[in-house]
Amino acid sequence: MTTFRDVIKSKKYDLVVVPQIEPAVIAMVSCLGIQRNFAIHLHGNPKRERSHLKARILFFLMKAFFLRRTAYVFGTSPRQLSSFREMFDSKVPQCWVPNPVRKFDNAQTTGGEPGCVTFINVGRFSHQKGQDILVRAFAEVHKQRKNTRLKIVGHGSGEEDLRREIARLQLQDVVAIEHHPDDPQPALSTSDIYVSTSRWEGWSLAICEALRFGLPVIATDCEFGPSDILVDPRLGRLVDPEGGASLVTAMIDYCDHIVSAKRDSDFRQSFIDQYSEEKVVDVHATALRAAAG
């Protein structure tokens, strides 16, 4: 805290942007007596982050003392910002600053294994990302549609549990775990349908990158992100947050109508262009100028 205070005190910064609520409180405490404008940049789910005693104390301090010192709240999704406003009874100005979605040199798809429909999920192997929900749903899908395959792409501490679940359901021949740490293009370009089964999100760059390849998306309607992105039925569809029967039904329906679903590929790629880096940077710059002013 002393180092942070020294850095902030060394220059008359117009705005200090701190990610997340807990670090923001710590930063403001360390700068008591120094006149600076602070902005909070939300990334995750504030409700989920209040899960341990230290977090609950810091959240209380934010609501009781430090929110009034906050010049602006930035967020990665509109629903996330609405949740923050409700949780903290906040009157602080807010601004949605969407995450930029990178471009790929050749964002085209060739589809998966010939004669099959390939579902794909990209993300950290963790409870949050809900790959266990996806694997159980896919097991039901594969019972009814033998021409289906699933690729789960990512890394993380939950990989062994995930592999055990795949083995328990006897899906080793039709479910593949792949590692593409920096570039999901090889996996996305050889798939047909993207499935997100996150239990919570802040936004979802993985969904956006799937749309960049023109893939239709099925996503659990979790807090937050998917519902802010899938705002047109041509982009994809939302299912129950717990997955279950609605997820299985959506996967089978896309499997059966994959040809018609692919006709909207160009629309998806065009839609996601609004989040390209060169466009989003202007949104961020405008927000920073407003907060600093």
Given a cut of 90, is residue 160 above it in pLDDT? yes
Question: How far is Cα 25 from Cα 29, in angstroms, rounded to an integer?
Answer: 6
Given a cut of 80, is residue 29 above it in pLDDT? yes
CB 197 within 8 A of CB 131: yes
What pairs with residue 17 in β-bridges?
39
Given a cut of 80, is residue 293 above it in pLDDT? no
Given a cut of 90, is residue 34 above it in pLDDT? yes
Q: For helices 131-144 and 244-256, what crossing angle results, to 10°?
A: 50
Q: What is the pLDDT of residues 116-142, one digit of tens each?
A: 999 999 999 999 999 999 999 999 999
- Dmax over CA atoms of the chain, in Å, equals 67
Given a cut of 90, is residue 45 above it in pLDDT? no
pLDDT the model gives residue 181: 79
Q: Residue ranges of the alpha helices (H) in 97-204?
A: 131-144, 159-168, 185-188
Which of 270 and 181 is assigned the larger pLDDT? 270
Going along the chain from its start, the domains and CATH numbers come out as: 2-100+280-292 (3.40.50.2000), 117-272 (3.40.50.2000)
The residue whose two tokens read 């289906």 is 148
Q: Tell me what the pLDDT averaged over the chain comes to.
A: 94
What's the rounded mean pLDDT across residues 3-13? 92
Question: How far is Cα 176 from Cα 182, in angstroms, rounded to an integer?
Answer: 18
Token pair for 251? 């996967």
β strands within the chain, DSSP E: 16-19, 38-42, 70-75, 94-96, 117-122, 148-153, 175-178, 193-196, 217-220, 236-239
Given a cut of 80, is residue 50 above it in pLDDT? no
**Sign of the C-alpha dihedral computed for residues 276, 154, 121 and 111 taken in this order:** positive
Question: How far is Cα 189 from Cα 108, in angstroms, rounded to an integer?
Answer: 6
pLDDT the model gives residue 182: 83
Give the length of the chain: 293
Question: How far is Cα 10 from Cα 127, in angstroms, rounded to an integer?
Answer: 42
CB 193 within 8 A of CB 119: yes
pLDDT band at 61 (very low <50, low <70, confident <90, very high): very high
Q: What is the pLDDT of residues 70-114, one digit of tens each?
A: 999 999 999 999 999 999 999 999 999 999 999 998 878 888 889
pLDDT the model gives residue 111: 80
